Amino acid sequence: MGYGIRLLVRGDYACYTRPEFKAERVSYDVITPSAARGVLEAILWKPAIRWVVDKISVLNPIVFDSIRRNELGSKIPPNNVTAAMRGGKDLHQYINDDRQQRATLLLTDVAYILEAHFEINKEKAGETDTPEKFYNMFLRRARQGQCFHTPYLGCREFAAHFKLIEEEGEPESYYKDEAEIDLGWMLWDIEYKAEVNKKKTEFSFTPKFFRAYMRHGVIEVPKEVNI
């Protein structure tokens, strides 16, 4: 296990979209481990390390709100991007022709404490890549509010504000007196695999889920899941 950190994350809005809802966006009750890892990687990402989320503390009450937003109905195909780079295709999308209005059930006024550590990827680590080096690098960046890109809470338009927790005391959870709350099945992460088949690389994406229980406002994130 690498060096552990605690990070306070807040935001006015958040939406951790449930994959079982297709047409409309519906958020999970709390931040998912993969979204929490995305916040940490926004502050410090290196090929030589891998972030592992250990615990998620839910500080504020879980409150939902419903809004409607205009969104694009489709994405630009990757083949069109490649053709445009070669100068053989005009790359564009017209919002007036592809606009869709979708409802979103999101969270408001969220705050979490993320407890995590990082592990060294020995295959990609160099001779000077040590746990102490990356730990101090993260501390320096988190203290100064530095990040590679603005961390967000599920959707890019919902920016996250973060603060490193170094003192012993910490904010109390709204659910500190609740013995256990079953939050149902939650996305743990997505497993990416690349296989070379007939000189062509094929990518597969396998979502993994876990049963999330919040005990006294804290969710224990499993190290591995097989579901």
Domain with residue 184: its CATH number is: 3.30.70.2660
Task: Identify whether 140 is part of a domain.
Answer: yes
| Any domain includes 97 | no
Q: Looking at residue 226, what is its pLDDT?
A: 77
Which residues are CB-contacts of 90 (< 8 A; sequence separation ≥ 6)?
Answer: 84
Question: Quick check: is 81 in a domain?
Answer: no
3-state secondary structure 137-188: HHHHHHHHCCCCCCCEECEEEEECEEEECCCCCCCCCCCCCCCCEEEEEEEE
- Which residues are bridge partners to 57 per DSSP? 113, 218
Helix axes 131-144, 33-43, angle to 10 degrees: 90
Look at residue 15 in the predicted model and tell me its pLDDT.
96
**Counted domains in the chain:** 1
Give the pTM.
Answer: 0.85
Q: Is residue 33 part of a domain?
A: yes
Whether residue 118 lies inside any domain: the answer is yes
> Under a CB-based contact definition with an 8 Å cutoff, are residues 6 and 170 in contact?
yes
Q: Taken in order 39, 43, 47, 52, is the CA torsion positive or negative?
A: negative
Would 77 be classed as within a structural domain? no
Res 218: pLDDT? 97
Domain that includes residue 19, residue range: 4-70+102-220
| 76 found inside a domain | no
Identity at 214, one-letter amino acid code: M
**Which sign does the torsion angle of CA 35, 39, 42, 45 carry?**
negative
Q: What is the identity of the amino acid at 144?
A: Q
Domain assignment present for 199:
yes
* Amino acid 1: pLDDT: 45
Kindly give the parts of the chain with pLDDT less than 70: 1-2
SS3 string, 24-87, reads CEEECCCCCHHHHHHHHHHHCCCCCEEEEEEEEEECCCCCEEEEEEEEECCCCCHHHHHHHHCC
User: What is the rounded distance in angstroms from the CA atom of residue 65 to the CA atom of residue 110?
Assistant: 12
**Could you report the per-residue pLDDT of 140-184, keeping only the tens digit for each?**
999 999 999 999 999 999 999 999 998 877 789 999 999 999 999
